């Protein structure tokens, strides 16, 4: 290799290694936070529209709580309403809005949990407190009341609203 070839090689290497990408404008913490809020608002708005479409498509008559839980309680039920600290036994089916069943007591057995104390979806705690033994209900939990950003890393995807068909079989102190 002659001196001229080495010189050309060095020049190409030197200028070829320069980053042709312009620097990205750095955002401050407030700008990042505002961008995340806008993105979450858009996701929530789309999710709300999906839930409304599901209710309309299925001709459901549902009430809505302040947190966004949609619910329809069926039957009179007996006794007191479920309260924090009570152990609830339920029969259930959990589905996505597209109808795909994720979990069911038919496959996994009855579910038992302590109201407001066990690690089940916060929307389930909220909904069960609207029920008495013998009530059946349909709950639609927006993702923020269900499994949120990451899903359950199994059958429930991220940002997924859940449809619960549930029956409260028993309450114990």
In-domain check, residue 17: no
Task: Output the pLDDT for position 31.
Answer: 84
Q: Is residue 116 included in any domain, yes or no?
A: yes
Q: Which one-letter DSSP state was computed for residue 144?
A: G
CATH of the domain at 116: 3.10.50.40
Give the Cα separation of 143 and 159 in Å (integer): 5
* Residue 156 lies inside a defined structural domain of this protein: yes
pLDDT in tens, the chain (173 residues): 565 666 566 656 656 655 556 666 787 888 888 888 888 888 889 999 999 999 999 999 999 999 999 999 998 899 999 999 999 999 999 999 999 999 999 999 999 999 999 889 999 999 999 999 999 999 999 999 999 888 888 899 999 999 999 999 999 98
Q: Is residue 15 part of a domain?
A: no
Distance (Å, whole) CA 104 – CA 122: 18
Look at residue 99 in the predicted model and tell me its pLDDT.
96
Q: Report DSSP state, residue 17.
A: T
> Rounded to whole angstroms, how far apart are CA atoms 168 and 89?
6
Asked if residues 97 and 110 have their Cβ atoms less than 8 Å apart, the reply is: no
| 103 in a structural domain | yes
DSSP 3-state of 104? strand
* Domain assignment of residue 2, yes or no: no
Residue 72 neighbours by CB distance under 10 Å: 14
Our count of domains for the chain comes to 1
**Angstrom distance (rounded) from CA 69 to CA 55:** 13
Q: Could you tell me where the DSSP H helices lie in 3-157?
A: 3-16, 29-57, 105-108, 122-128
Q: Considering the entire predicted model, what is its pTM? A: 0.79
Structural domain for 127, as ranges: 29-172
pLDDT at 33: 87
Domain contains 12: no
Domain membership of residue 42 (yes or no) is: yes
- State the Cα–Cα distance between residues 172 and 105, nearest whole angstrom: 19
* β-bridge partners, 74: 136
């Amino acid at each position: 290799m002659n001196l001229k070839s080495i010189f050309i090689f060095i020049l190409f290497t030197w200028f070829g290694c320069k980053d042709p990408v312009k620097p990205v404008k750095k955002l401050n913490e407030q700008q990042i936070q505002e961008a995340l809020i806008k993105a979450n608002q858009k996701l929530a708005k789309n999710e709300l529209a999906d839930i409304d479409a599901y209710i309309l498509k299925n001709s459901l008559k549902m009430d809505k709580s302040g947190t966004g839980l949609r619910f329809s309680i069926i039957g009179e039920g007996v006794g007191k309403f479920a309260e924090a600290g009570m152990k609830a036994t339920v029969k259930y089916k959990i589905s996505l809005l597209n109808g795909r069943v994720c979990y069911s007591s038919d496959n996994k057995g009855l579910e038992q949990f302590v109201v407001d104390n066990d690690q089940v979806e916060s929307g389930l705690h909220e909904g069960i407190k609207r029920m008495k033994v013998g009530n059946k209900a349909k709950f639609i939990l927006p993702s923020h009341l269900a499994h949120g950003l990451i899903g359950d890393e199994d059958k429930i995807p991220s940002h997924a609203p859940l449809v619960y068909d549930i029956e409260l079989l028993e309450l114990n102190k």
